[in-house]
Amino acid sequence: MSRRIRKAVFPVAGLGTRFLPATKTVPKEMLPIIDRPLIQYAVDEAIEAGCDTLIFVTNRYKHAVADYFDKAYELEEKLEKAGKLAQLEVVRNPLPPNVRAVFVTQTEALGLGHAVLCAKPVVGDEPFAVILPDDLIWNRGPGALTQMADAAEASGASMIAVQDVPHDKTDSYGIVATEDFADRQGRIRAMVEKPKPADAPSTLAVVGRYVLNPRIFALLESTTPGAGGEIQLTDAISALLAEEAVHAYRFRGTRFDCGTHIGLIEATIRYALDHEKLSEAAAAMMQSALDELGVRELE
Which residues of this protein are in contact with ligand G1P, per CB under 6 A? 112, 132, 135, 173-174, 193, 205-208, 232-234, 259
Residue 79 or 194 having the CB closest to ligand G1P: 194
- Using CA atoms, how far apart are residues 142 and 251, in angstroms rounded to an integer? 10
Q: What is the DSSP string of 132-178?
A: -TTEEEE-SSS-HHHHHHHHHHHH--EEEEEEE--GGGGGGSEEEEE
Residue 29 or 193 having the CB closest to ligand G1P: 193
Shortest distance, position 137 Cβ to ligand G1P, whole Å: 11
How many other C-beta atoms are found inside a 10 Å radius of the C-beta of residue 295? 9
Spatial contact of 30 and 64, defined as CB atoms under 8 Å apart: yes
Shortest distance, position 194 Cβ to ligand G1P, whole Å: 7
Spatial contact of 5 and 100, defined as CB atoms under 8 Å apart: no
DSSP-derived letter for residue 182 is B
Shortest distance, position 275 Cβ to ligand G1P, whole Å: 25
Spatial contact of 173 and 205, defined as CB atoms under 8 Å apart: yes
Q: What is the CA radius of gyration of the chain?
A: 20
* E strand map for 233-296: 246-250, 254-257
Shortest distance, position 70 Cβ to ligand G1P, whole Å: 27
Residues for the chain: how many in total?
Answer: 299
Residue 120 or 209 having the CB closest to ligand G1P: 209
| Amino acid in position 161 | A
Shortest distance, position 188 Cβ to ligand G1P, whole Å: 12
Helix or strand or coil: residue 216? Answer: helix
Residue 48 or 171 having the CB closest to ligand G1P: 171
Residue 127 or 259 having the CB closest to ligand G1P: 259
| Amino acid in position 178 | T
Shortest distance, position 296 Cβ to ligand G1P, whole Å: 29
Residue 217 or 230 having the CB closest to ligand G1P: 230
